[in-house]
Homo-oligomer: A and B are copies of this chain.
């Protein structure tokens, strides 16, 4: 599968993103997941970015150099793993605005998370509202309700106040930087 843009507003992840705040959020999640793994609390990894390799060269034996390749659209979500014996799956998103636009997440990713929840897994979207420096975890069923409500009312995004009311605030700190499993505990293991 080559790069396809089912939604033109979604840009495929690029390496120059590394200098942006988006990468800070992603790094925060990766460091948190490493912390969780080291402390045997969960085994959750970010999936590698899918890349379509077109041309490979072999400058030396057993050494492959990719000379041409393209970013692909991910089949599923960014992160998955096991927590408290449960399958856990989520997509991480961040926005510069005070409202998170639905179009910034692929429909097939929402569908994937919905199916995971139907099968008994823990599935959610975690959104970083950069402007107010707040992170909210929103269960996929709640997210789908918000999408439906939005469709009725003409709203195409989740304002930070709605995320606050319908989602769970994620505590930011040092160890781990983004303690989203504490939010998972509050939502799924009460």
Which A residues are within 8 Å of any B CB, using their own CB?
3, 5, 11-12, 14-16, 40, 42-43, 45, 47-51, 53, 56, 62-72, 74-76, 80-82, 85-89, 112, 115-116, 118-121
Which residues from chain B contact A81 at a C-beta distance below 8 Å? 80, 87
With both beta carbons as reference points, the residue of chain B lying nearest to A58 in the complex is identified as: B14
Q: List 7 A-B contacts (CB under 8 A).
A: A43-B116, A43-B119, A65-B69, A66-B68, A82-B119, A82-B121, A86-B87
Highest count of chain B CB atoms <10 Å: which of A14, A64, A76, A89: A64
| Given A43-B116, A51-B48, A120-B85, A69 and B71 contact (CB-CB distance below 8 Å) | no
Which residues from chain B contact A65 at a C-beta distance below 8 Å? 68-70
Q: Which 9 A-B pairs have the closest CB atoms?
A: A85-B120, A48-B50, A66-B69, A82-B87, A87-B87, A48-B48, A82-B121, A51-B51, A82-B119
The reply to whether B56 and A15 contact each other, CB–CB distance below 8 Å, is yes
The reply to whether A47 and B49 contact each other, CB–CB distance below 8 Å, is no
A3 to B63, CA, bound (A): 9
